[in-house]
Amino acid sequence: MVNITPKTGFELLVWLGLAATGGFCEELVFRGYLTQQFRAWTGSRLFAVVLQGVVFGLAHGYYHKVMVVVMVQGWLLGLLAYWRKSLRPGMLAHGSQDAIGGLVAFFSSK
């Protein structure tokens, strides 16, 4: 498996930019679009949250060691969107988690 964590200052800047945009875009796609489509298909908001979490985990299958953890994160972010009736808290949480992960990986390798 390829290690995608940032190793240089430039890579860290790119990582932080991707964390911000990735969190925003993935929340729109998974917790926004897919959840609405799955809800229309199944008629169940809860089942839609479960399905989008499964797809979210599978979409992150390139990092197979944590795929189940990512699936659970997808469920939690889906529940957060349902509870708050907004994608914004999930966008903030998702982007922050990605940014913190990159920062920890970068500084722990020094």
* pLDDT per position as a tens digit, 14-37: 999 999 999 999 999 999 999 999
Q: Is 43 helix (H, G, I), strand (E, B) or coil?
A: coil
* pLDDT per position as a tens digit, 58-105: 998 887 788 999 999 999 999 999 999 999 999 999 999 999 999 999
H helix runs in 27-44, sequence order: 35-42
- Looking at the domain assignment, is residue 1 inside a domain? no
Can you give the pTM of this predicted structure?
A: 0.88
Phi, psi of 7 (to 5 degrees): -120, -20
- Looking at the domain assignment, is residue 15 inside a domain? yes
DSSP 66: G
Look up the domain containing 93 and give its range: 9-105
Phi, psi of 4 (to 5 degrees): -105, 10
What's the domain count of the chain?
1
- Looking at the domain assignment, is residue 47 inside a domain? yes
Phi, psi of 18 (to 5 degrees): -65, -35
